[in-house]
Each structure stands twice: as structure tokens, then as C-alpha cells.
Amino acid sequence: MACKGWNDRPADSTTLGETMGNPSDTYSSAYTVMKFREGGDAKGPKWHFAKRQCMHCLSPACASACPVGALTKEPAGPVVYHKGLCIGCRYCMLACPFGVPKFEWKAAMPYIQKCDFCADRLKAGTEPACTKTCPSGALLFGKREDVMKTASSRIASRPGRYVNHVYGVDEAGGTSWLYISDAAFSELYLREDLNRFAYGKSPMDALGLAPAVGLGVAALLAGFYFISGRKERLKDNEGA
């Protein structure tokens, strides 16, 4: 709710999904969602909660794939979207390994929407709205190296409780959002099949071919048109 309030995101009709959350995933009007799943053991049922939003990768694939620089990685950490530069190609949606950028499919003039880490608040010296409003300390904001140390310290102090890994330290080359968990990260709907290298360069290698392919197809169609037109002109001349 703090995220929606600060970013002036409207409320929409949504439906429950397998996560029992509502909405079940981020979309153009919801930059942040809470996912949760019921688990349990011999001691009884147990709930696992996970806040999901843009991961703000250290080397973001979305920014690398964007051909016009509409997405940039800011020095303070946020990956920010500049709608005035966007051409609507949606390469960022294909490139992101976390499926974060969402398109405003219902809007008359659609843009990409995503969490921007409250970049405007950070510039003003204030932490993000979500971490500011968290009443239990489940969200911790600070410099990445400091948060990593705190996360590692918590794992070390209670080794029987947490998975021995800080998610986001090296997934997809590292992210600005980090997680520790008492359940497998896949139980929190986080991908565990990601490479440890940055995806920021590799998507552009493939996506960068798209304009060239487009030009090639256009040239091929122009060639067909020229040949077809020439045949028609020859027929007309023969008829005359």
C-alpha cells in the first residue's frame, strides 16, 4: 500500500492466484506484491512470505537490451525508466531474467511500468516507501555491502533456521535487492536456475540483431516488390 500510495498507482480488480496473494504478481499498476505460500512439517503448517519487486540488478539486462537508453542504472542503485525516450519495443520485458518490466496493455498511450527503488526519495535522502513503512524489520535498507554483512551475520547466528545463502549476491551477476530465507528460494517464487554472470551484456548480443534482421526483411520485401512490379510492367508493355 505504501508503494501504491507513493507512486500514485491505481487500484484494479484482480483475482487470487496460486500464491493466495492478491494480486498474484506485479503488473503495470502494482510495482510491489507480497507472495506467500503455505508449507509445513511435523510441527504443523507454516507460512512463507516474499516481497517481490524489481531486483535492480547491478548490471541490468533491461537497460542493456534497450536500444534507446530508456532504462538506466543509477549510481545509488535504482534502475530507472525514462518514458520520454521509450519507443515501445518491449525488449526490456524479454531481457529481464526476473520478468519485472510490465507493459500498460490497457492504456491508450502505453508505457513500461516497474519499481524504480523510489529513486526520487533516495535523491531527497529518504529511504524507499516500502522499507520505511515496514513495521517488523523484515525489510532493511542501506548500502549493499552493509546489508550483505547483516544478512550473513543473521545466517551465521542461526544456522539451523536459514538457508546458507544470501539470494542476490551473485544471481544474474548480483542484485540490489537481497533475500535470506528459512525455505528454499524457489518456495518464494525466486528463480534458482540463474547464471552467476551478469545478464546485462548477453541479451543485447541477441536483441541487437533485431534491427538488422528487420532491415534485412524490409530489403527482401522491397526486392520482391521490385521484381513483381517489373513483371507487371513487362506484361503491360507486351499488351500495348
Which of 30-39, 65-74, 195-204 shows the highest mean pLDDT?
65-74
Banded model confidence at residue 180, pLDDT cuts 50, 70, 90: very high
Stated length of the chain? 240
pLDDT at 24: 74
Average pLDDT value for the chain? 84
pTM to 2 decimal places = 0.79
Non-local (6+) Cβ contacts of 51 within 8 A are: 32, 33, 34, 35, 130, 138, 139
Specify the CATH number for 2-38+45-207; select among 3.30.70.20, 3.40.50.720, 1.10.10.10, 3.40.50.10070. 3.30.70.20
- Residue 202 or residue 103, greater confidence: 103
pLDDT at 44: 81
Residue 237 has pLDDT above 80, yes or no: no
pLDDT at 45: 82
As a whole number of angstroms, the distance between CA 89 and CA 121 comes to: 29
> Are 42 and 81 within 8 A, CB to CB?
no
> Are 109 and 91 within 8 A, CB to CB?
no
* Rg value, the chain, Cα: 23
